Amino acid sequence: MEAEAQCAELVKLGLVDGIVTDDSDVFLFGGTRVYRHMFNDRHTVQCYLASDFEKEFSLDQHRLIAAAQLLGSDYTEGVPSVGPVTAIELLAEFAGDGGLTGFKAWWTKVQSGIDIPEESSTRFRKRFKRQNVAKVFLPPTFPNPAVEDAYLHPEVNSDPSAFEWGVPDLDGLREFLMNTVGWSKERTNDILLPVVKDMNKKIQEGTQANITNFFTGAVGAGGFAPRVKAVGGSKRMEMAMEKLKGADGNTETADKAEEYPVRKIMSMNERFAQEAQEQTDEPTGAEKPKTKKRKAPAKGRKKKATPALEPEDEDGESDYGSDIDIAELEGLEGMGEEGPPKKKGRKTAVTKRKAPAKRGRKTAK
């Protein structure tokens, strides 16, 4: 008996509100509401609904099982060289062509060299054929119907009786710990008896609490939790998902900004830090928003001011055109009828030399 299968059955019977696990195999058994990171302080608790998979990505239980046969799970090794993106692309490509059975039929023809051009004419099939013709080899039993049957009809206890809180079975616990863990009878009594005595005392006093005391009203609906979409996903995966939805005739787009805003998934500590930062960044009533100060112009040679460009017209183009460079405008300044611009530089004082006096004898008159 699989634990994930039994938990999925309890949800179907309405005995529990959801399943706390990090194992995605629970969806293959028909789990409908799964909570992740319940006991991880570094992450916010995340709720996943099987109805969202089917509505947003056209991934029902049968297609999730088909993806498991490609990727591998507890019951199958999967197909080598096939990752999550390629698996979804295969499901989308052969959605209307027999699913995995149609994929195996086509791939067998490809590896035997008897496929016709019409069967391998799509862009995905050309690429998959070119990249994997010598790498991907399907097992003879692929797709294995026993794997699908194990997920669809697992061995579970379907008793619809509601849960009741009771006292621990001391004899059963003692036998389990002695046979499984290897504790002695004395050690087992030393550990269990104080706990049982304390529980009985609290029950008599009416102070014993259980997990159901912390929940009131309808729970597990997820109505107050914001829908979150991961940021920075694979473009190939998004295209494959859209193609898979199109194969089912679902014309709704997966990306609905109004209904499902894009949010960054963050831990509780990161969220508290962000909220504290937003509070400190908000200006009070008396404070004015800070404005950036303009830097003083650097000392040195002054440049002539360039003519201000005219505002753009309704078409988004200015009268100067889109190919004019500002640097060219600065270089063309001063070029007119008066000739080239004067060279700028330091002015140096020029002194004229006096003519030397004529040599000769002076005669007195």
User: In terms of domains, do 184 and 84 share one?
Assistant: no
C-alpha angle 348/354/358, rounded to 5°?
165
Residue 301 lies in a domain: no
User: In terms of domains, do 72 and 193 share one?
Assistant: no
Most confident of 129-133, 300-304, 344-348: 129-133
pLDDT in tens, 192-241: 889 888 888 877 777 666 666 666 555 444 445 566 666 567 788 888 88
> Residue 98: which pLDDT band, with cuts at 50, 70 and 90?
confident
Residue 356 lies in a domain: no
Domain end position, chosen among 232, 262, 281: 281
pLDDT value of position 220: 46
Phi-psi region of 124 (alpha: psi -120 to 50; beta: other; left: phi over 0): alpha
- Give the C-alpha separation, 31 to 18, whole Å: 8
266: its two tokens: 């963050």
- Give the C-alpha separation, 329 to 335, whole Å: 11
User: In terms of domains, do 74 and 176 share one?
Assistant: no
Tell the residue number behind the tokens 């509505």, with chain if given. Answer: 55
User: In terms of domains, do 82 and 195 share one?
Assistant: no
Tell the residue number behind the tokens 């608790």, with chain if given. Answer: 45
- Determine phi and psi for 305, rounding to 5 degrees: -70, 135
User: In terms of domains, do 15 and 82 share one?
Assistant: yes
Please compute the mean of the pLDDT values over residues 290-315 and round it to a whole number: 51
182: its two tokens: 């290897």
pLDDT in tens, 104-140: 999 999 999 998 888 888 999 999 999 998 899 998 8
- Give the C-alpha separation, 106 to 94, whole Å: 10
User: In terms of domains, do 75 and 189 share one?
Assistant: no
- Give the C-alpha separation, 230 to 263, whole Å: 7
The answer to whether 123 and 40 are in contact (CB under 8 A) is: no
* CB-side neighbour CA atoms (13 Å) of 267: 9
Residue 352 lies in a domain: no
- Determine phi and psi for 179, rounding to 5 degrees: -85, -35
Say whether pLDDT at 306 is over 50. Answer: no
- Give the C-alpha separation, 95 to 87, whole Å: 12
- Give the C-alpha separation, 209 to 196, whole Å: 14
Domain end position, chosen among 251, 281, 311: 281
Please compute the mean of the pLDDT values over residues 2-10 and round it to a whole number: 94
- Give the C-alpha separation, 192 to 183, whole Å: 12
User: In terms of domains, do 141 and 156 share one?
Assistant: yes
- Of 11, 6, 68, nearest to 35 by C-alpha is 11
Element (H, E) at 19: strand 19-20
The answer to whether 22 and 36 are in contact (CB under 8 A) is: yes
% pLDDT > 70, the chain:
61
- Determine phi and psi for 158, rounding to 5 degrees: -100, 25
pLDDT in tens, 156-175: 999 999 888 777 888 888 89
Please compute the mean of the pLDDT values over residues 276-300 and round it to a whole number: 56
> Residue 62: which pLDDT band, with cuts at 50, 70 and 90?
very high
> Residue 84: which pLDDT band, with cuts at 50, 70 and 90?
very high
Per the prediction, the chain carries an average pLDDT of 75
> What are the b/e assignments for 284-304, b being 16+ CB within 10 Å?
eeeeeeeeeeeeeeeeeeeee
Domain end position, chosen among 153, 188, 209: 209
DSSP 152-196: HS-------PPP------HHHHHHHIIIII---HHHHHHHHHHHH
> Residue 331: which pLDDT band, with cuts at 50, 70 and 90?
very low
Please state the domain count of the chain. Answer: 2
Range of the domain at 194: 170-209
User: In terms of domains, do 97 and 181 share one?
Assistant: no
Residue 348 lies in a domain: no
User: In terms of domains, do 3 and 72 share one?
Assistant: yes
- Give the C-alpha separation, 194 to 25, whole Å: 38
pLDDT value of position 6: 95
Residue 110 lies in a domain: yes
> Residue 273: which pLDDT band, with cuts at 50, 70 and 90?
confident
User: In terms of domains, do 69 and 117 share one?
Assistant: yes
Q: What is the pTM of this model?
A: 0.60
